[in-house]
Chain A
């Protein structure tokens, strides 16, 4: 029963964080890909660095912010699932943003001009570009989800691995390992991999069906 609870929490937390990252990363990445302004390369380089943000660094910074002594301490969010969602969103958002920008930049630049020339509004043009790039955009979503469902450092630091409250699959694996229960740790690892596989399988199926159309 405990495993069930841990698994559900892992999925909930990482799905919510990925969706928030999508709402941030899709518009922001589009703006970066289509925009033509000073500092664009600089922002892109920052985002690309952000794609490699070590979760434990994110965890540390978020923890310092959320501790009772920190600037957001009065919210009492440290060691709650919301704290994990915040940290995971910070980890996944650059991934989704960077890959969205890369996906849209890979489209033929003339497409934009043609669409606008044909009388499309800016909103219609973006919508069309997203549809055109839906395969790499789904890949961006999968990469975002993959980066958070598998991370440990941030979940451990801001979640605290509290049984029944903030224990997720990855932190449970660390715990079982530290107890010397390598069998349990391996079983949980297999569970995590199977879940990640199933989610990616369904997204891939959606992606490939989109391609055949």
Chain B
């Protein structure tokens, strides 16, 4: 037994020894791998100016957003100070707009008139755009995943699971980009599970919400004649 173990260990060691050798790649495979790598470099070279050009723009955007946030903050603080001090005089016409640097220590009477319109006019959309982009993408991806799961459940005739997932989608993304598809799936799942009355109600709701949907005729047909 012990001798067997020793023999086996030797065999294992031999195996590892042979495994240490690195086998040369066939030329075809190497050529293919290098061609793909070169293509990546070429693509990268095309893309290189874009990030370098985009980076300053992004940083400028970030700066603008920061400046907007800063002015908002100062405006807010100034407004609070004005309210507390009982100096909120909306009726008095505002004097000439004050430069941002001068607004760091805002004179109380000028605050409501000069500060409030500015953040809403220019920098806010930029800030909004920068903040909203990733979340929109993320939420779309999450929507897609959820609805895909619902579709898979529907395709495997697991209508109750599909309806649960549809309900979850409706809860998380009531006005999501895939709301139309979700509602269509709800109708089909209800019809598939034999809940004809619910399916008809869902179709009616769908028709109200998406009256020009290309899915509508088919859904009406489905709700009328469930699977």
Partners in one complex: no
Binding site for A on B (CB under 8 A): none
Q: Which residues of A contact B (CB under 8 A)?
A: none
